[in-house]
Structure 1
Amino acid sequence: MARNDIYAHFHPDEKPFVDRAWEWVERAAELHELRRTDFLDPRQAHILFTLANRHPDVALRLDGGYAGAERQRAIIAPDYRPLEAEEAGIAVLAVGSDDRRIGELDHGDYLGAMLGLGIKREKIGDLHVRDDGCHVLIAEDIGDFLRTHLRQAHRLEVSTAVLPLSELQEVKVKLEESTISVASMRLDGVASDVFRLSRAKIVDPIRAGRCRINWKTVEDPSALVGEGDVISFKGFGRFKVIEAEGVSKSGRIRLKIGKYV
């Protein structure tokens, strides 16, 4: 398949990842290689899945360490090789503290502490934040490093341990639900109401490539959103369009949205 044919289906910013993913697929099919990737976000997983489906001689399995994981590692291999028994190489990093302020830390605090040690985001899966600490899905090969060097999170002393996946304490994602009234399903209009910003202040970040719909970069403020879409804005947060509840007499659309907290 010609590379230009592949690129036509993806955003230009995604070209470097498409190149890498297609190379993984080709090497699995032609050189009979098995590859285990780092953690992929849902958009990257979709791209890889799409490319693998275009090659009849490739098998693919995604694994994030638990059912419903957002970030997942992929195992790519020639189609004759069974993947069910292949290890995904995922462990649990348990972060805790004797300091009662541990309950004040959030997702960004824990993630920032790990990235501050030079760990790449791709080595870290989902984070499960609790009142008494956090369980982080990580690539096994960074477990010893984090256990040795991660001693603070947001200036609070922490302790760490590496656990098997069977000891993961999963925390369900929480959404802060509310209902808004919008004139249309345009991205800029919906986002400005969700974040309570003027449309002018929302348009510039969109055009600058700071917005993603379902983890795909969108630069058109007039792009339409729909039920089930997850919209993220760098610097503002992210939300999900849960349901369109109907149209008012004045013609405005009532939307139930959930902000990630």
Structure 2
Amino acid sequence: MPHKDIYAHFHPDERAFVDRAWEWVERAAEFHELRRTDFLDPRQAHILFALANRHPDAAIRLDGGSPDAERRRAIIAPDYRPLDDEPIGIAVLAIDSEDRRIGELDHGDYLGAILGLGIKREKIGDLHVREDGCHALIAEEIGDFLRIHLRQAHRVEVSASLLPLEALREVKPELEELAISVASMRLDGVTSDAFRLSRAKIVDPIRAGRCRVNWKTIEDPSVQLAEGDVVSLKGFGRFKVLSVEGTSKSGRIRVRIGKFV
């Protein structure tokens, strides 16, 4: 178990993951084990990386299958073991269809089809959705199962095949840019303008733990945002603070945000 002062850096809801991640680090450093994790979200990856760096005898490598991957697997090992050539265990699941309606499918449709087969979210990395199909990064150990059983996505008949990572057709996330004017960079103020909701309707979900900033649960509506922050509000979506462009004569702050679509 990590020293109690470590917990001060993390949200209480993250304690279970911190305990598990520290166990991985200790087993790598002290018992010379190599562990390959499932896909981690950026917050989990940050926690594991920070913990591994606290132990002088542990090494870590993070890889999501592409340079800009959001969800990544980790390899944790004793520090003397080179990690660059260790297989990360990621395959590309290519989902295609002869049905023209495949162009209507979105990220949620593909993810729902995969999870509907009983697959855990942790086994799925980033999804790259195009008009003619989807390339999903997956843990290679579930590849054959999905190739055989994935036959439908939101009422569209599909087929699945496995490709090497080099064949990935990466799709950059689309952002709908908006210019807003806010009184301050408080989380509740910026978020209410981003989602076109009253501040009163924003505060309760934040205090209820339904908001994350950079994948960390934030329950304080007064937290100050900065350029580069990614905010998600359960049930409403997420956005990124692209730039803070100065203050108007009336004292309001001009902010450009990008909503993920």
Normalising by structure 2, what TM-score? 0.98
Correspondence for 2:44: 44
Correspondence for 2:206: 206
Correspondence for 1:35: 35
Unaligned runs of at least 5 residues, structure 2: none
Cα displacement string for residues 40-63 of structure 1 (whole angstroms, at most 9, x for unaligned residues): 000000000100010000110001
Partner of 2:113, secondary structure, is helix
Question: Is residue 2:189 matched to residue 1:189?
Answer: yes
Aligned counterparts of 2:249 and 2:103: Cα–Cα separation in 1: 45
- Pick closer, same or farther for the CA change 1:9–1:100 going to 2, 3 Å: same
Unaligned runs of at least 5 residues, structure 1: none
Aligned counterparts of 1:162 and 1:122: Cα–Cα separation in 2: 19
Partner of 1:173, secondary structure, is coil
How far 1:2 moved relative to its partner? Answer: 4.9
Correspondence for 2:67: 67
Alignment of 1:1-261 (within 5 A): 2-261=2-261
Aligned counterparts of 2:83 and 2:2: Cα–Cα separation in 1: 28
Q: Percent identity?
A: 80
Partner of 2:75, secondary structure, is strand
Cα displacement string for residues 177-232 of structure 1 (whole angstroms, at most 9, x for unaligned residues): 11000011011110110000111111111111111000000001111111000001
How far 1:3 moved relative to its partner? Answer: 2.8
Q: CA RMSD in A?
A: 0.9
Aligned counterparts of 2:91 and 2:82: Cα–Cα separation in 1: 22
Partner of 1:38, secondary structure, is coil
Partner of 1:77, secondary structure, is strand
Normalising by structure 1, what TM-score? 0.98
Decide whether the 8 Å contact of 2:2 with 2:19 is kept in 1.
no
Cα displacement string for residues 56-79 of structure 1 (whole angstroms, at most 9, x for unaligned residues): 001100010111111000000000
Cα displacement string for residues 107-152 of structure 1 (whole angstroms, at most 9, x for unaligned residues): 1111111111111010000000000000000000110111111111
The one-letter code of the counterpart of 1:34 is L
Aligned counterparts of 1:219 and 1:130: Cα–Cα separation in 2: 35
4+ runs deviating over 3 angstroms: none
Aligned counterparts of 2:210 and 2:146: Cα–Cα separation in 1: 30
The one-letter code of the counterpart of 1:231 is V
Aligned length: 261
Aligned counterparts of 1:210 and 1:145: Cα–Cα separation in 2: 33
Decide whether the 8 Å contact of 2:34 with 2:77 is kept in 1.
yes
